[in-house]
Amino acid sequence: MALQAQRLKALFPNSEINFNSQVLNWRCVITPSPLSREYQIKLVLGRGEQPNVYIESPLLELYPEKNSLPHVYSTKKQWLCLYYKKVKQWNSGMYLADTVVPWISEWLMHYELWLCTGIWHGGGIHDEKKVENLKEELIEGNKGRS
């Protein structure tokens, strides 16, 4: 946790970070592009868990005639889906500042485009069968490397 906190603070000196041996909470303002809004985000990482990211403000809006945000775990909680947790695209050997934070920015760029067009260009899968197929592909790919 201390190494994650140190790296986040070094790259984002204006951010707010609180951590102990069990959990890290990080808040930061992210502006995905020069034309974008500023977003207050919160990242929470529990020991042995995957990081979770929430938008605190401004609340993300819905595209007209849509009743949920695209590619999130929860519209109500503003809880972003940034990567495939079940196939462990992120692991504790990776720095949050170098992986998850850029993924947040990328997600927000896709959100802003979706808000204008109603079309999600950010990819992602939520179909369990597709996730299982991806797991198998990753396992097979790793066998060829050994």
Q: What pLDDT, on the 0 to 100 scale, is given for residue 85? A: 80
pLDDT value of residue 75: 95
14 phi/psi in degrees, rounded to 5: -90, 5
Q: Provide the pLDDT for residue 127.
A: 46
Per-block average pLDDT, block size 10, for the chain (146 residues)? 96 96 97 96 96 97 93 95 85 95 97 95 66 54 55
Q: What is the model's pLDDT at position 128?
A: 45
Q: Give the pLDDT score at 88.
A: 78
Q: Which DSSP category does 13 fall into?
A: T
pLDDT at 73: 93
User: H/E element holding 145?
Assistant: none
Cβ burial of 19 (10 Å; 0-12, 13-18, 19+) is middle
- CA 99 to centroid of chain Cα atoms: 9
- From the number of C-beta atoms within 10 Å of its C-beta (0-12, 13-18, 19+), residue 99 rates as middle
What pLDDT is attached to residue 137?
Answer: 58
Helix (H) / strand (E) element for 79: namely strand 79-80
Instruction: Give me the count of residues in the chain.
Output: 146
Query: First CA to last CA across the chain, in angstroms?
Result: 31
Q: Are 40 and 26 in contact (CB under 8 A)?
A: no
* pTM score, whole prediction: 0.83
Position 133 scores a pLDDT of 53
